[in-house]
């Protein structure tokens, strides 16, 4: 089944591309969600117009993501947690904690875009990568101290 994507989907394609998918995936998920449209002759002709509008939207999203990345480069999130011997925390600092603290700092983040190899379990300074958009990865400083 041929469909035209309206949004970027990892491991499938970028918005505006004509891709082949299994019929059930296209019929039951992509088309009802508005993520893709069926690749009929009429829709393929409209693809060129959609490509221009999608390119403009992606440029705006990229610009917004770069602005957020610049803002995040100046922010340091500080966490005070109870710690035992050797700076080992009683608990962890997770992506949910980082998301909540970033909101308090005035930056809205989605915790699904925050990449931690594992939860932070010791006192120290860390650099956390946040994938904001296609090709835009921000680095956020996180400082964990003993309370």
* Helix (H/G/I), strand (E/B), else coil: 22: coil
User: Could you tell me if 36 and 64 are in contact, meaning their C-beta atoms sit under 8 angstroms apart?
Assistant: no
Task: Tell me the pLDDT of the chain (147 aa) as tens digits.
Answer: 999 998 888 889 988 888 999 999 999 999 999 999 998 888 888 887 877 887 898 889 899 889 888 888 888 999 999 999 888 999 899 999 999 999 998 888 888 889 998 889 999 999 999 998 878 899 999 999 998
Of the candidates 101, 145, 142, the one whose C-alpha atom is nearest the C-alpha of residue 123 is 145
Radius of gyration of the chain (CA): 21
CATH class of 2-64: alpha beta
Type and span of the H or E element at 90: strand 88-93
Nearest C-alpha neighbor of 132 from the set 143, 140, 124:
140
pTM for this prediction: 0.64
Superfamily of domain 70-146: Ribosomal protein L9, C-terminal domain (3.10.430.100)
Domain ranges of the chain: 2-64, 70-146
Look-up: residue for tokens 């090709």? 135
């Amino acid at each position: 089944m041929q469909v035209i994507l309206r949004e970027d989907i990892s491991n499938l394609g970028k918005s505006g591309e004509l891709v082949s998918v299994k019929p059930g995936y296209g019929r039951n998920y992509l088309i009802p969600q508005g993520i893709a449209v069926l690749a009929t002759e009429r829709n393929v002709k409209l693809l060129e117009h959609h490509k221009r509008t999608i390119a403009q939207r992606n440029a705006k999203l990229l610009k917004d993501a770069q602005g957020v990345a610049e803002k995040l480069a100046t922010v340091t999130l500080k966490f005070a947690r109870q710690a035992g011997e050797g700076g080992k925390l009683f608990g962890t600092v997770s992506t949910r904690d980082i998301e909540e603290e970033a909101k308090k700092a005035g930056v809205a983040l989605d915790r699904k875009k925050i990449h931690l190899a594992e939860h932070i379990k010791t006192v120290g300074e860390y650099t956390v990568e946040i994938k904001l958009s296609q090709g835009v990865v921000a680095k956020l400083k996180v400082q964990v101290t003993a309370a």
